[in-house]
Amino acid sequence: MKISRRTFVKGAAAAGGAAVAGRVIPRGLETLVAAQRTTAPAVTEEWVPTTCWIGKQDCGMLARRINGRVVKLEGHPGNPLNRGTLCPKGVAQIIAVYDPHRVKAPLIRTNEKGIPGRWRQATWDEALDLVARRIREVRAKDPKLLVWQKGRSKGKAFYDEAFVKASGATKLHHGAFCSDAGYRACEYTVGMSGVLHPDFRHTRYLLAWGWNATNAGGNQLCWITWPQQLVAARERGLKVVVIDPRLRGAGPFADEWLPIRPGTDLALALALCHELIRQGTVDRDYLARYTNAPYLVAEDGFFLRVNGKEQVWDATQGTARPVDAPGVTPALEGAFTVGGRNVRTAFQVFREHVAQYTPEWAAEVCGVPAEAIRRVARELGEEARIGSSTVIDGVTLPYRPVAIMAYHVSQQELGFQAVRAMLMVMMLLGAVGAVGGQRVDVGGWSVHENFEKLDQIEIKDPPYNIYLKDSKYFPINSNNSAVVARVMLNPDKYGVKDRPEVLIVHMSNPLVAFASQPDLIESYKKFKFVAVIDPWLSETADYFADVVLPAATIEKYEGPSKASDQYVDGVALRLPAMKPLFQSRGDIDIYLDLCEKAGILYGKGGYLDHLNQALKLKAPYLLPLDRKPTVRSIFDRWARSEGISEGVAYFEKHGVKVKGPIPPEKAYGYATHPPFGGVRHRLYGEALLRYRQEMRQRGAAPLYWQDYTPLPTWRRPTMEESPARYDLYLISYKMIEFKQSRSSFIPLLAELAPKQRLDINPQAARQRGIRNGEEVWVESHNALTGETRRVRVPVHYTEAIRPDTVGLPHHYGLWSHPGVREQGPTANALYFTGEGYVANTADQSFHVKVRVYKGEER
């Protein structure tokens, strides 16, 4: 029988003509009759392509549409990212699309800020006018005082680039909470924008370094793609060594587990370097030709330069010669005297530097047995097959089937240097850019502009901008919104002159999603005007939005989005699977109107102009700068400009454009011409030393410059200074059920993991007399300020975590949606930001010392 509310009401009324009579006849008896009713009438059914809206990689989807109503979302078989499948979130988002608690119309605040909002519905015109006026006002003052907070918004070209450029706004990322410390390390060291990941088709030995394989994504791609490649690789004989305080993430795919102490990854990486050099399993050829390892380093730590040229020691001639001198055969090791100055090769310096980091030493620091470290180093050395080569699509390339997968692990106080050290392990083995070896960017091997930029930063004197760009505090800077919060609360301390006034939050929920919640809540009070673009009333909107603009979910055009799994390249578009529900609108529509009303849409330097550049549109497909296009027509132009003759219709038919396999010349650093894009990888970070000195000269405190060392150098993380009774490390992690803070209100998913819980080793729990499922206090401590924060959560026994470590999932702590009130606190209520709890690149650390207790004791 077809139960719909309408027929249900009819039935009730029919049963006696009145609602009363309908109630008198128990429906329990009605069903026998009901069951005999004929089946549902014939329906029109179609499958329309679109892309997932929940995750970061926009998996291809096919929406099953019946009478214009989407009833199911399935994976797009043709999309290289997910190949016909979806993760739980992707499947469950259908119920979110219809969620009656979406923001149904533009909202304007009627009560004061900092408390749950009360709203009145407004027309789009009214709401947009209001926001546009504020934008005009603030831009008249200084465009930089307009802040655009990026979240999980897609269509980079439309928002991050065109809008930010056209409005001149200050852009805030979320990367500093993800893996940007790793990005900076890789950009600076090998010129690739990304974190570390393997060449799964060929890798035979993998260090899964803090990689939450069964729950979270990996470098640059969402969850589905990486596990698919991991499992396939294991069936080909890949061995996986898991380096993680918690085994749960790797699940059954761990061949060996090194339960490392949180925050000590740098030490382990250094010990591996130590062992590799001791074993002599070092790819000297790679180091000499493609890195700055042979550069001569003077005693002051800077390269020896002769009229601006770095020098190497020519082994054959026994003299120092310019690195690019013809026929030079640079020595990799050795100490020499050049013009009366004692110099050593960078590799020699490195070698002597890591001599102190023995496995025994690391065992102490990391809580991992020394013999295990030795064995892993030995296996790495053997599996690397240094000197061997193989043929890929007719190209002969070095074969080094060892690699590291590292992602969120980079978000720790020593993250930048830790990832650099991990890279060095792979550099010693010559695995960077080799077949089966270390990869960094799924897009292919092209050198990122930051390789030079991060080397040439000019540290300035105050005033600094809101996220302390080019400052003496964080010269290399990942633009951390939590740090921004602290700066806003105390601008003078950081030499910031004027506070920003207007904030546009797009698909982001800083109050819950970003670390150090208390700081964020305080700082948001400082904004004069906050507009939020979001399908739901985010907590940030609830407390601080003056205007909420309801965005659509999957019912909109968005993109273009990369559809590459690092082997096959493609591009996809999000297409409206049905008309936007309620009064919501596609984000791009919103921006077009907003820009028009704010007077930054048309003409040179306007939104459309920047859009032309951002989308790399070529004539004759350039958008005219004098009239507002429809979103569909923009994508049509883009598609044709990309050489797709059918235009956007192609995507409306196929959903994804698969460009075919990525050739080795693009995929492998060794195969590019010239190899590695012609850059020398930075084993030795001379610029880091330079920054260190400039920061000191400008009077920055040691804790800002202490990690700016040319070579990764171990020190105790700041959190270790917390009193001994804070005897546990808190780490946080993602669960497969949810995406950040953006899905725990989806009832289908919330049902699977309804409540926040603290992972704890039963051994540790019993010492504290804590039973499984019992509620406890988790209290974190800031080693520098002495501040403490605490939350109450039930514990969850697991043998898959170090006894000195406890874990909290992200995702929880929401309050504005009726479905989430019982879920419990967010881990971000416990973390601290700023000094001691960010990396030297302003990247957020998700490590803190905590204590766990049952009662009210304090």
User: Could you say which residues in the range 677-736 bind another protein, by CB under 8 A?
Assistant: 736
Q: Which stretch binds another protein (CB under 8 A): 86-94, 305-313, 409-417, 827-835?
A: 86-94
Instruction: Give the one residue of 395, 521, 703, 748 binding another protein; rule: CB under 8 A.
Output: 748
**CB nearer to another protein: pick between 7 and 450:** 7
Q: Which stretch binds another protein (CB under 8 A): 247-255, 269-277, 309-317, 706-714?
A: 247-255
Q: What angle do CA 559, 77, 206 make, to 5 degrees?
A: 85
Instruction: Quote the least distance from Cβ 575 to another protein, whole Å.
Output: 17
Instruction: Quote the least distance from Cβ 761 to another protein, whole Å.
Output: 6
Q: Which stretch binds another protein (CB under 8 A): 127-135, 300-308, 578-586, 650-658?
A: 578-586
Q: Which stretch binds another protein (CB under 8 A): 65-73, 350-358, 515-523, 827-835?
A: 65-73
Instruction: Give the one residue of 111, 490, 697, 763 binding another protein; rule: CB under 8 A.
Output: 763
* Residue 578 interacting with another protein (CB under 8 A): yes
Instruction: Quote the least distance from Cβ 827 to another protein, whole Å.
Output: 17
Residue 429 tokens read as: 């083995």
* Residue 87 interacting with another protein (CB under 8 A): yes
DSSP annotation of 585: B
SS3 letters across 57-81: CCCEEEEEEECCEEEEEEECCCCCC
Beta strands in 675-740 (DSSP E): 728-733
Distance CA 362, CA 367 (A): 8
Instruction: Give the one residue of 390, 450, 788, 798 binding another protein; rule: CB under 8 A.
Output: 798
* Residue 213 interacting with another protein (CB under 8 A): yes
Angle between helices 481-489 and 517-524 (to 10 degrees): 60
Binding mask 9-28 for another protein (x = CB under 8 A): --------------x--xxx
For residue 399, give the 3-state DSSP assignment.
Answer: strand
**CB nearer to another protein: pick between 102 and 139:** 102
* Residue 99 interacting with another protein (CB under 8 A): yes
* Residue 69 interacting with another protein (CB under 8 A): yes
For residue 682, give the 3-state DSSP assignment.
Answer: coil
| Beta strands 758-760; 788-797: pairing state | parallel
703 class by beta-carbon count within 10 Å (0-12 exposed, 13-18 middle, 19+ buried): middle
For residue 389, give the 3-state DSSP assignment.
Answer: strand
| Beta strands 296-298; 256-258: pairing state | unpaired
**CB nearer to another protein: pick between 414 and 735:** 735
Q: Which helix (H) or strand (E) holds 364?
A: helix 359-366
**CB nearer to another protein: pick between 255 and 379:** 255
Rounded to the nearest 10°, the torsion over CA 159, 161, 167, 171 is: 80
Distance CA 61, CA 268 (A): 41
Instruction: Quote the least distance from Cβ 519 to another protein, whole Å.
Output: 32
For residue 540, give the 3-state DSSP assignment.
Answer: helix
User: What does the DSSP assignment read for 787-853?
Assistant: -EEEEEEEEEE-SSB-TTEEEEESS----SSGGGTTS---GGGT---STTSB-TTSPBP--EEEEEE
* Residue 257 interacting with another protein (CB under 8 A): yes
For residue 27, give the 3-state DSSP assignment.
Answer: helix
**CB nearer to another protein: pick between 443 and 819:** 819
* Residue 824 interacting with another protein (CB under 8 A): no
Residue 670 tokens read as: 């060794």
Instruction: Give the one residue of 169, 282, 800, 848 binding another protein; rule: CB under 8 A.
Output: 800
Distance CA 399, CA 625 (A): 51
Q: Which stretch binds another protein (CB under 8 A): 221-229, 459-467, 477-485, 535-543?
A: 221-229
* Residue 71 interacting with another protein (CB under 8 A): yes
Return the residues of window 582-611 that contact another protein according to CB under 8 A: 582
Distance CA 523, CA 487 (A): 9
Q: Torsions phi, psi of 532, nearest 5?
A: -120, 130
Instruction: Quote the least distance from Cβ 585 to another protein, whole Å.
Output: 15
Instruction: Quote the least distance from Cβ 40 to another protein, whole Å.
Output: 4
Instruction: Quote the least distance from Cβ 39 to another protein, whole Å.
Output: 4
Instruction: Give the one residue of 17, 110, 237, 252 binding another protein; rule: CB under 8 A.
Output: 252
* Residue 737 interacting with another protein (CB under 8 A): yes
Instruction: Quote the least distance from Cβ 731 to another protein, whole Å.
Output: 15
Instruction: Quote the least distance from Cβ 26 to another protein, whole Å.
Output: 4
| Beta strands 728-733; 805-809: pairing state | parallel
Return the residues of window 381-420 that contact another protein according to CB under 8 A: none
Q: How many residues bind another protein (CB under 8 A)?
A: 84
* Residue 1 interacting with another protein (CB under 8 A): yes
Instruction: Quote the least distance from Cβ 442 to another protein, whole Å.
Output: 18
* Residue 540 interacting with another protein (CB under 8 A): no
Instruction: Quote the least distance from Cβ 15 to another protein, whole Å.
Output: 12
* Residue 35 interacting with another protein (CB under 8 A): yes
Do the beta carbons of residue 72 and residue 761 sit within 8 Å?
no
